[in-house]
Structure 1
């Protein structure tokens, strides 16, 4: 029997991706859709301006959208809420006993809320038990879309001792949601600013790579400096990274770790766990946004163009599908892992 789930922010860009990815899912079925008062009371087909290439699933299009203050039957709530309302709404659902797995930024850095990339820090999910004892429910968060690509690109070589990272992102327009940027601003242009993005990329990896000690996460000491850019691609964030290691690392060591990297979701056979989670390319012109963003159903992070850095030690490129692995897909994978681990 499948587990009933609800989608918070169901009409938005991330909410639509949740609905698309959950169609015919072997573990979860969409039971409830929640959105703003503008959409509440309408069938989903009327409430949402559907923007994905696949049609609205038949079992969803006639569901009536509920308001944010509705009482929900689903135990698991996938949140794609806008940050303006997510903080208060997610905390309220937690206090009602729900498990909220959120793509929103509001609770990511709360000390008792795990910030999870399933392949990297599944042990941080132990914080859920403490939350349930205090609040009755729990919140688990998915990192920023660029952070997810970055940390999965770093994870295979992290044990070699990364001291510092210089990061420059080239982020697709879907990361801004719909309607997003005016075409006049983004066509024939690159915008070297995305509000609030650089601090997330600099701070979140410290928590993700941190060590769980009792009920506290001790942050990792890796220092990151980030620069972000919005580019005229629809989906896919490309990241250029330069790394300084604590001790010398050879090309062979790095390549071996990239090509053999795996994690607990792969070992447990989670439905959306890609094999491999990190795809290494020897070609100097890969990964490319259009060619590689959909690898592993959009869940595989690609790494390539590895070469020595004249200032640090090594540099390479990372690609992540920002609305799949970087948003809805990554959040669903967290829930799948929690089911496998008996935390749901």
Structure 2
């Protein structure tokens, strides 16, 4: 037997412990959208010719067998979410660790779907050996540690979804090597310290959820085409650099340093609050700013009602350096 496809039935019970031993020539096993439970049998390794293994949307529990890493021809693996569970988004509670043996999977593995499986531990460095991966879905788990730099070697990768975990540290620069990537979902990285997305072609506004990164120390979004208002969120930040950036001005009560040089800002520079220490260097290179003579820019004309609400900036960059570890 080469193919078993029993998707969307009402199958229940456990998989036989000797299942793989009796199916040495099996290439495709699809059992998703059923009511199967219990553990995934280690004997599946004996079905060494497996190309597709889809066990998603069941009630499987226990550990992911380390032996999965020896299925060298596998190019589609999905142990994902349960089907018809009490909680709509409840998943196969595998509660396992991603083994380093994932590196033994075939280089032709294209999709790795293990979202919502209560996976623990860190993402192994060996994940970067799966050179044929197009989609890597590990979201809504309990993964910790950093995003391995080796992910940057997955040159075919188009979708990387890691949100809903406990990952921390900086986003590796190596992700910039993923030239085919069109979907990058990293929500839930609440412990993120550094974020560098400068010199890209990002546009539109910054989502409000971005400001939930309460432990962030450094953010660099410079040399993009971002726009929109940052208020009231920007008040949370202590040091900003907004060179070549988008619309921002207002009551920045926690601001320690603000740089607005070389933009297309216009309007009056406030002289109260955090702008009291504003210097000529802070606003140099703008074409339509005005202020009292102390800043060596043209004096303001009679108020036209628009006041300081006008601000046109092309690109956003702000940096919260390590000088503020308590932030």
- TM bucket, shorter chain: under 0.3
The answer to which structure has the higher strand fraction is 1
Q: TM-score, normalised by structure 1?
A: 0.23
Q: TM-score, normalised by structure 2?
A: 0.24
More relative contact order, 1 or 2 (CA 8 Å, 6+ apart) = 1
The answer to which structure has the higher helix fraction is 1
